[in-house]
Amino acid sequence: MKRLLLSAAALSLISGCQAASTQTAPQPNDTPKAKNVILFIGDGMSVSTITAARIYEGQSQGKTGEEHSLSFEAFPNVAMVKTYNLDAQVPDSAGTASAMNTGLVTGIGAINIQPGNEAAGCRDETRSGPVRIIDLAEAAGLSTGIVSSARITHATPAAVYAYAESRGFERYKDMPKGALSIGCRDIAEQLVTSDVDIALGGGRRAFEKYSRGSAVSLIDMWTQRGDDYVYADDHKSLKALNLSSGQQVLGLFSNSHLPYHVDRKASKDPSLTELTTAAITNLEARDTGYFLMVEAGRIDHAHHQTNAYRALTDTVELAAAVQTAYEATNPNETLILVTADHGHVFTIAGYPERGNPILGLAKRTNRDGERKPLEDADGLPYTTLGYHNGPNQRDDTLLTDNAVQAQDYLQQTSVRMESETHSGEDVILYGTGPGSERVKGSFHQAKIFDIIVDSLDIRGAQEVE
Ligand SMILES: [Zn+2]
């Protein structure tokens, strides 16, 4: 179902006047024009995550590490980005992704719906919700794609194509009766009926028959939309598709999230880089111009467990995906943005010497030339990487070089909590390509919407019935 779209500026006057909005006063658009935009989001990729991943990648190449750079650190334009939600000092991914997709500072936990407007959530889906990038892109004839290493219905990818008063509405079985009775739809169903042209990620369980109690699965709903609507469920079936023929592709490669990069079976599980390449191949072949969002969704999950090893290795994989995207696109026509939705309470601390293994015990070489662990106030060694809060399964017998550098080691924490939390500090936005000149200064992440729609010159796009 198509709907008539007002310009984003006009709609923000209707829907966003009570909220802090960056849509209300658009600048005259003298931004250089981009044909395509690729937005990479490292979920939870704090500044400290980037620093530690840079050192990790450098050390794995035989360097001391600190002097190394991740691929996107070579981008010419950089900004500091504020991440608060309308009602939260420390944000969640639903509020932050909604801000990037609508240009509005939105509430925690909801997908593209403003606090106080929950009752209108389902009405918003079809009539009066904030205009999203995908709406303007579609109205302007552009194609749209999503890639995520998390479930494709998880908060960050959902904000590209869905409206939901709760990010928890991923599956039919997650829907409260009251929400269903007024016509709300689960996020998975919203995806298979959306304008997204290619969606690759995890979360298959939300699309299968048993999830809906219906004879028709959401995968069937997708493939029944037309002959060119195809489905892939593993690495092999994705490779078998003719991606450059403009097929409409749904790819669901795991029941829930995709495995962490280091845990994946290469024959079965596509990597983030491979999924990014597949999406770009499909979208470039259409020659319409496109908006592609790529999420490294599991950096966040590793951090929540205080497992620095997997947070860093998934960040290194994101950097590889960005490099691949840069090489696969024309720098004169493609704006590439790399950012995080929010930070984590992850720190690099304690005066280790230059080149000290980033995952290791903090060590320094003394006057006698011996490399010795530094000690805490109790005389115990400690790791360079740690967290302000989290499970803190501290076992002093594990404070050895081998134990702390093992894949499953969980870092020490200060405040004991079941799950480590997000942080409220700023994140970085990196940009290259047409329109990236506006990636400078300090602003709320809602402005990323403005940078994207102005670079694509789709702010005033209107759907023609
Ligand atoms: Zn999180």
* Averaged pLDDT in 10-residue chunks for the chain of 465 residues: 36 36 50 93 98 98 98 98 96 97 94 77 64 95 98 98 94 90 90 97 92 82 97 94 94 98 94 98 96 98 98 98 98 98 98 98 96 95 97 85 95 95 98 98 98 95 60
- For CA atoms 149, 155, 156, 158, the dihedral sign is positive
Q: Which of 366, 365, 367, 398 is nearest to 383 (CA)?
A: 398
Amino acid identity of 340?
A
Within a domain: 397: no
In a domain, 350, yes or no: no
Greatest pairwise CA separation for the chain in angstroms: 79
User: What are the structure tokens assigned to 152, written together?
Assistant: 């494709």
Q: What is the pLDDT of residue 463?
A: 57
Per the listing, tokens 């001391």 go with: 64
Instruction: List Cα–Cα distances, 270 to 100, 167, 202, 278, 317, in angstroms.
Output: 27, 26, 11, 10, 12
- Give residue 112 CA to ligand 1 midpoint distance, Å: 18
- Among the options 93, 211, 271, 436, which is catalytic? 93
3-state secondary structure of 395: coil
Contact, 252 vs 272, CB < 8 A?
no
Residue 293 CB neighbours (<10 A):
28
β-strand pairing of 427-432 with 422-423 = unpaired
If 0-12 CB within 10 Å is exposed, 13-18 middle and 19+ buried, where does residue 424 land? middle
Q: 260: Cβ–Cβ under 8 A, 6 or more apart, which residues? A: 298, 301, 302, 310, 313, 314
What's the total number of domains in the chain? 1
User: What CATH number should be reported for the domain holding residue 204?
Assistant: 3.40.720.10
Would residue 54 count as lying in a domain? yes
DSSP lists the bridge partners of residue 88 as 85
Q: Is 230 helix (H, G, I), strand (E, B) or coil?
A: strand
Other CB atoms within 10 Å distance of the CB of residue 76: 12
Ligand 1 centroid – CA 396 distance (Å): 28
Neighbouring C-beta atoms of residue 79, cutoff 10 Å: 23
Please state whether beta strands 385-390 and 413-416 pair in parallel, antiparallel, or not at all (unpaired): parallel
Measured in Å, residue 304 CA sits from the centre of ligand 1 at 7
435 within domain boundaries = yes
Question: What pLDDT, on a 0 to 100 scale, did the predictor assign at position 63?
Answer: 98
Termini Cα distance of the chain: 10
Q: In angstroms, what is the span from residue 303 Cα to ligand 1's centroid? A: 8
pLDDT at 465: 43
Q: Which pLDDT score is estimated for 124?
A: 57
Spatial contact of 26 and 280, defined as CB atoms under 8 Å apart = no
Q: For residue 114, give both structure tokens.
A: 């403003």
Q: Which domain holds residue 138?
A: 8-345+421-456
Q: Which residue has the tokens 């990038």?
A: 133
With contact defined as beta carbons under 8 Å apart, do 85 and 91 qualify? Answer: yes
Question: Is 164 in contact with 111 (CB distance < 8 Å)?
Answer: yes
Q: Is residue 357 part of a domain?
A: no
State pTM to two decimals: 0.92
Output the pLDDT for position 396: 84
Examine the residue annotation and report whether 93 is marked as an active-site residue of this protein.
Answer: yes
Going from the Cα of 30 to the center of ligand 1, the distance in angstroms, rounded, reads 36
- Residue ranges in 225-337 assigned as alpha helix (H): 235-240, 272-286, 298-304, 308-328
The pLDDT value given to residue 129: 76
- Within-domain flag for 381: no
374 within domain boundaries: no
* Residue 304 domain-assigned (yes or no): yes
Cα(158) to centroid of ligand 1, in Å?
15
